[in-house]
């Protein structure tokens, strides 16, 4: 059933806004709520378009049960619900939100979007009692989760169709599960798509027609692209079969594979493969620079070890999803930007499998904002994921966000990221770099599991944050993680398992920044060939509540080979990894695993909230010359805490004056302390929820000219 809202002459809620990346130049947007249409929708389709929503949707939501009831002659039937039996624990009341992997697949059509997902799992509510809330935004990451959703899909459903949408307007979609008690999960798994006219391609037809209906399908993808030139955007539906083509995909065009001939069912790229075979020495699919979203979904790229690269994307907005890429003579995917001309690449890789290519599985260069989720990079000749020159840019954010990604059995460092020097810019508006690795498994690689190398100096102001959380680093030829922190940043390694790595240490840390602090918390280091932790740096490593079981040749778990300091606080509270915390398990269909991740009987528990802490101090410990005033800046991971500070010169305490501005705490003596031989500054972060007290000691001596 599908009910259209009546048309009203509404004003656009985005009137007066400037165009944004990821949307067409035609900026028609969601109108103000059409209350009568919403009322009709609620009564007839069982879906609630909430009238209180901040950004109401023009159109309707329907659950497709019978393709014969569809108004369009080629309406695609969405999957029927399937029952997934979860591990239901008897309980007197429902204390926890559902565990839900989020949206699984999103396909754009002509003025419509089609959404599918797998059932959430709840401790009390059965599948039939879990409903789903749909949040939409024209901008990535801007869904308003604190407001009512735009759509409420009835309990027990696993799909919905949003119809009557404005063509050319990119929508960013998040679906959340809500149990019978009203508790909602908190996933932010975002997909993007742009409604646009549809062209159909089917290699099995005898000859090409106009491509505007399934019965008039074109025979090749290249013909569809040619037919779409001049349109503001197009969605190309491609049936299963073999396609030996080289493709230049223009701005705003999207490809969706995995359809069956006839195009009357939702695509399934695993069962119905759309195979795109590369040409020897050539790149298979090229995305030139552009400002509008381009989607590549459900294609199987095969290189036969002779085609050069599967996908090359240059300065564009892209989403690559449900793609398999294998056997290319160079890299599987290359995403690059023109740093000299302000270029940038943004978007996501979702549910992709990149394997057995002779170069890197994924290579990233320049200024990017990318999310990788539920992907595998395995058996590639070089790194699984490589970024030899990630570019910080003043006033902007460079981001790589990896969530549940498997990087295994590659011929070099599993994940190899080098951050280059920042561009020239306003020193008061520093570059922001965000590297987040959550639920990542990096195992069996022929070098380090992960490597992070800062290629800029401490005096170049960059707001750097690297967070490695809930990860598995195992059986790599060298260290599980190698981090070279030559500048102050927020470096956090927590709730991770370093198991069976074969280097001189499971975790290797280095760096020249004396004021840098690297936090290692709640980690396991089962017996490996080297130390649990090896530090060759000049700053501070703070190890808290971790099990240091791996020891080096001198039977010690920790080794310091430079001027830096390693402190250990608290005893391990993790005798073994709780199964609910194994966020890296069953990524897609990992070797030896039988079920895809979106169909797990038991999903990972949500991560614990990260404790705030100290990430650096300027100047760092060492000698103070006459030119260095007695003033320190303590850098915090966020502004929610105010550390306790004390100081003493040659054992005599002296009072301090503190002032806080955001994440920076400035400290200086309130009186002249005169000459001294040794000055000790103590900075203590009080106990927080789920975290014990942190105390740091910084020692200073006068230089010869003081």
- Chunked into runs of 10 residues, the chain (706 residues) has average pLDDT values of 28 28 33 27 37 49 44 72 54 78 95 93 88 95 93 91 93 96 93 97 96 96 95 96 96 96 94 96 96 97 97 96 98 91 91 97 96 97 97 94 96 97 87 96 97 92 95 96 96 95 96 94 89 96 92 93 89 60 73 48 74 91 80 92 93 94 93 90 86 87 70
Closest CA to 106 of 348, 418, 376: 348
Residue 385 CB neighbours (<10 A): 29
Taking the CA atoms of 660, 666, 672 and 673 in sequence, report the sign of the dihedral they define: positive
Q: Is residue 207 part of a domain?
A: no
Alpha-carbon distance of 61 to 47, in angstroms, equals 6
Last residue of a domain, one of 160, 195, 230: 195
Q: Is residue 50 part of a domain?
A: yes
Q: CATH number of the domain that 655 lies in?
A: 2.60.40.1220
Residues forming a β-bridge with 402 = 372, 437
Q: Is residue 641 part of a domain?
A: yes
Last residue of a domain, one of 166, 195, 224: 195
Closest CA to 464 of 637, 336, 305: 637
Alpha-carbon distance of 513 to 489, in angstroms, equals 10
Closest CA to 546 of 514, 582, 506: 506
Alpha-carbon distance of 575 to 331, in angstroms, equals 41
Helix (H, G, I), strand (E, B) or coil at 68: helix
Write out the two tokens for 358.
């002779």
Last residue of a domain, one of 141, 172, 195: 195
Q: CATH number of the domain that 101 lies in?
A: 2.60.40.10
Cis peptide preceding 385, ω within 30 of 0? no
Q: Which pLDDT score, from 0 to 100, does residue 570 have?
A: 75
Longest dimension (CA), the chain: 93
Q: Which pLDDT score, from 0 to 100, does residue 236 have?
A: 98
Q: Is residue 397 part of a domain?
A: no
Q: Is residue 323 part of a domain?
A: no
Closest CA to 362 of 412, 397, 317, 291: 412
Tokens 């031989």: give the residue: 677
What range does the domain containing 166 cover?
A: 1-84+96-195
Q: Is residue 160 part of a domain?
A: yes
Q: Which pLDDT score, from 0 to 100, does residue 38 have?
A: 28
Residue 468 CB neighbours (<10 A): 28
Assessment of whether the complete model's pTM goes beyond 0.85: yes
The helix or strand, by DSSP H or E, that contains position 436, with its residue range, turns out to be: strand 432-438
Q: Which pLDDT score, from 0 to 100, does residue 644 have?
A: 93
How many domains, the chain? 2
Closest CA to 525 of 561, 568, 488: 568
CA 179 to chain CA mean position, Å: 26
Q: Which pLDDT score, from 0 to 100, does residue 426 have?
A: 84
In sequence order, what are the residues at sequence separation of 6 or more whose Cβ sits closer than 8 angstroms to the Cβ of residue 110? 167, 195, 196, 197, 198, 235
Q: Are 333 and 325 in contact (CB under 8 A)?
A: yes
Terminal C-alpha separation, the chain: 82
Tokens 């996908």: give the residue: 311
Write out the two tokens for 121.
């799992």
Q: Are 120 and 190 in contact (CB under 8 A)?
A: no
Q: Are 106 and 114 in contact (CB under 8 A)?
A: yes
Q: Is residue 49 part of a domain?
A: yes
* C-alpha pair distances (Å), 560 with each of 103, 220, 556: 46, 61, 11
Q: Are 415 and 451 in contact (CB under 8 A)?
A: yes
Per-residue b/e over 490-511, b at no fewer than 16 CB within 10 Å? bbbbbbbbbbbbebbbbbbbbb
Strands 656-661 and 664-669: antiparallel
Q: Is residue 640 part of a domain?
A: yes
């Amino acid at each position: 059933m599908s009910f259209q809202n009546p048309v009203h002459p509404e004003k656009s809620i985005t009137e007066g806004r400037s165009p944004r990346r990821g949307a067409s130049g035609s900026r028609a947007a969601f109108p103000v709520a059409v209350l009568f249409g919403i009322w009709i929708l609620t009564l007839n389709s069982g879906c609630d378009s909430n009238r209180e929503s901040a950004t109401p949707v023009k159109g309707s939501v329907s659950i497709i049960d019978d393709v014969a009831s569809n108004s369009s002659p080629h309406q695609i039937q969405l999957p029927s619900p399937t029952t997934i039996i979860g591990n239901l624990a008897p309980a007197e009341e429902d204390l926890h939100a559902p565990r839900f992997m989020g949206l699984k697949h999103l396909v754009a059509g002509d003025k419509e979007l089609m959404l599918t997902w797998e059932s959430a799992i709840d401790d009390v509510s059965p599948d039939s009692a879990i409903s789903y809330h749909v949040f939409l935004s024209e901008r990535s990451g801007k869904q308003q989760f604190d407001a009512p959703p735009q759509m409420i899909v009835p309990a027990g459903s696993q799909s919905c169709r949003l119809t009557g949408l404005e063509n050319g307007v990119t929508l960013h979609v998040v679906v959340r599960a809500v149990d019978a008690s009203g508790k909602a999960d908190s996933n932010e798994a975002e997909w993007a798509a742009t409604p646009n006219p549809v062209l159909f391609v089917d290699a099995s037809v005898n000859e090409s027609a106009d491509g505007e209906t399934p019965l008039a399908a074109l025979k090749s993808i290249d013909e569809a692209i040619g037919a779409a030139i001049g349109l503001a955007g197009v969605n190309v539906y491609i049936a299963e079969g073999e396609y030996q083509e080289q493709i230049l995909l223009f701005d705003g065009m999207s490809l969706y594979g995995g359809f069956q001939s006839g195009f009357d069912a939702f695509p399934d790229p695993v069962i119905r493969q759309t195979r795109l075979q590369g040409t020897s020495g050539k790149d298979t699919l090229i995305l030139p620079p552009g400002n509008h979203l381009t989607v590549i979904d459900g294609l199987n790229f095969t290189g036969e070890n002779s085609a050069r690269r599967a996908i090359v994307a240059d300065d564009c907005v892209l989403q690559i999803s449900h793609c398999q890429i294998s056997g290319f003579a160079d890299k599987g995917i290359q995403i690059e930007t023109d740093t000299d001309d302000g270029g940038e690449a943004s978007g996501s890789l979702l549910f992709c499998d990149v394997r057995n290519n002779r170069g890197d599985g994924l290579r990233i260069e320049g200024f990017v904002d990318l999310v990788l989720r539920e992907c595998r990079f395995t058996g590639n000749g070089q790194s699984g994921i490589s970024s030899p020159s990630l570019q910080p840019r003043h006033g902007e954010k460079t981001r790589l966000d990896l969530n549940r990604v498997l990087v295994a059995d590659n011929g070099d460092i599993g994940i190899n990221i080098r951050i280059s020097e920042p561009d020239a810019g306003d020193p008061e508006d520093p570059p922001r770099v965000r590297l987040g690795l959550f639920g990542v498994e990096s195992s069996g690689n022929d070098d380090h599991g992960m490597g992070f190398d800062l290629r800029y100096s401490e005096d170049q102001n960059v707001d750097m944050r690297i967070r490695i959380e809930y990860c598995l680093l195992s059986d790599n030829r060298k260290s599980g993680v190698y981090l070279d922190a030559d500048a102050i940043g927020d470096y956090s390694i927590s709730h991770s398992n370093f198991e069976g790595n074969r280097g001189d240490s499971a975790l290797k840390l280095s760096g020249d920044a004396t004021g840098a602090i690297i936090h290692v918390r709640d980690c396991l280091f089962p017996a490996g060939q080297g130390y649990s932790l090896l530090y060759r740096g000049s700053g501070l490593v703070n190890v808290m509540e971790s099990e240091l079981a791996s020891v080096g040749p001198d039977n010690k778990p920790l080794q310091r080979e430079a001027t830096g300091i390693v402190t250990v606080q608290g005893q391990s509270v993790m005798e073994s990894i709780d199964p609910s915390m194994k966020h890296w398990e069953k990524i897609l269909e990992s070797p030896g695993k039988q079920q895809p991740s979106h169909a797990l009987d038991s999903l990972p528990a949500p991560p614990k909230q990260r404790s705030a802490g100290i990430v650096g101090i300027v100047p760092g410990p060492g000698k103070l010359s006459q030119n260095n005033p007695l003033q320190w800046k303590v850098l915090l991971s966020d502004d929610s805490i105010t550390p306790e500070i004390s100081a003493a010169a040659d054992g005599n305490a002296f009072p301090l004056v503190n002032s806080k501005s955001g994440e920076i705490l400035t400290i200086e003596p309130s009186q002249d302390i005169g000459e001294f031989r040794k000055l000790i500054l103590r900075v203590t972060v009080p106990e927080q929820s789920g975290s014990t007290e942190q105390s740091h000691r910084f020692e200073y001596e006068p230089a010869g000219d003081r």
